A and B are shown apart, each in its own frame.
Chain A
């Protein structure tokens, strides 16, 4: 199943290399949701996320010659999306470092597993996070970056990345608990 999926993309990518507009549209249709959602999670602003998606697809199609095929097209495109999204945040002068020093909160042990999550709620809660928290959490949980990669891409230390993630998760849980509590009453 997975192999068939990849093969299909390779054909489309090869058609793209030859400049096929139809193939470009196919790829766009295939990836628009995933890419837009990823961009939106990072920049947290619909119009800016659209700009990011537009630029990323343009870049990908114009620089398709640079795509060596050592990853899937989707992963390659996602990388462009993430980079552009973070650049977009930088333009907004978002600060990725901790404001109040670097400290790692103690790992919470209790009360973690007593909630039944719902996608839409979690999504909304993520949107409620501060930029710095949201980006680290998104890169770590959604895009699968490790702390080393996050420290490179955000130009912060690995320790900061870890503590940001910790705080982000705590904050997210708090938001969700409050929401849950509100719903109960």
Chain B
């Protein structure tokens, strides 16, 4: 039986695939595979070092940012005393007076809850201004002015409390008289 050369090859393709590489070839391939695997592991270790370096670096960055934010915070905690000791003494005095007066006012709270609530709201407005000044002191170019304003604010707080006390006194007096 005769066939064309092309057909013969196509039909017997598998028959041509009879050559075999030498027996040691797999060992070579396996050795290379092992080598590549070790390299991969090494790469992983290197990558780990990079990872840790990255973590360390980002920690540093975070710490740096924290410090940046914390240090003005520290500056923000500058007390009045640092700026002006005389005013600081006044501040301490005023604050204790304010506390006393607030206590007295609170005594009337039960009898005049409506009035007390209003007074409290008025006082809070002043107090918020004071807190704002206190926070702004650190960044302020003129801290003396700020401290002055703070002490002035405390004075006004006392005046307000005084007025509130006298009013609430009168009101409760009036209530008492009327109830009798």
Binding site for B on A (CB under 8 A): 19, 21, 24-25, 28, 32-34, 36-38, 40-41, 49-50, 53-54, 57-58, 61-62, 112-117, 119, 122-123, 141-142, 169, 172-173, 176
Q: Tell me the complex Cα distance, A122–B37, Å.
A: 42
How many A-B contacts if CB must be within 8 Å? 80
Q: Taking CB as reference atom, which chain A residue is nearest B6?
A: A141
**Contact assessment for A50 and B3 in the assembled complex, using a CB-CB cutoff below 8 Å:** no
Q: List CB contacts (< 8 Å) of B7-27 with chain A.
A: 8-10, 12-13, 15-22, 25-26
B contact set with A: CB distance below 8 Å: 1-6, 8-10, 12-13, 15-22, 25-26, 28-30, 32-33, 36-37
Q: Given the known inter-chain contacts A58-B33, A61-B33, please indicate yes or no for A50 contacting B12, CB distance below 8 A.
A: no
A37 touching B33 by the CB < 8 A rule? Answer: no
Chain B residue numbers with a CB within 8 Å of A32 are: 20-21, 25-26
- B4 near A54 (CB under 8 angstroms)? no
Q: Select from chain B the residue with minimum beta-carbon distance to A31.
A: B17
* Bound form: Cα–Cα A32–B15 in Å: 14
For A24, the chain B residues whose CB sits under 8 A away are 33
B16, A116: Cβ atoms closer than 8 Å: no
In the complex where A37-B16, A54-B25 touch, is A141 in contact with B10 (Cβ < 8 A)? yes
Pair B8/A21 contact, Cβ less than 8 Å: no
Inter-subunit contact B26/A25 (CB<8 Å): yes
Q: A58-B32, A141-B9, A173-B5 are in contact. Are A33 and B17 (CB under 8 A)?
A: yes
Return chain B residues, CB-CB under 8 Å to A33. 17-20
A28-B29 contact in complex given A117-B3, A169-B5, C-beta closer than 8 Å: yes
Flag if A113 contacts B16 (CB, 8 Å).
no
29 contacts between A and B (CB under 8 A): A21-B33, A24-B33, A28-B26, A28-B29, A32-B21, A32-B25, A34-B17, A36-B19, A36-B21, A38-B17, A40-B19, A49-B19, A50-B22, A54-B29, A58-B29, A58-B36, A112-B4, A113-B2, A113-B3, A113-B4, A114-B2, A115-B5, A116-B1, A117-B3, A117-B5, A119-B15, A141-B6, A141-B10, A173-B5
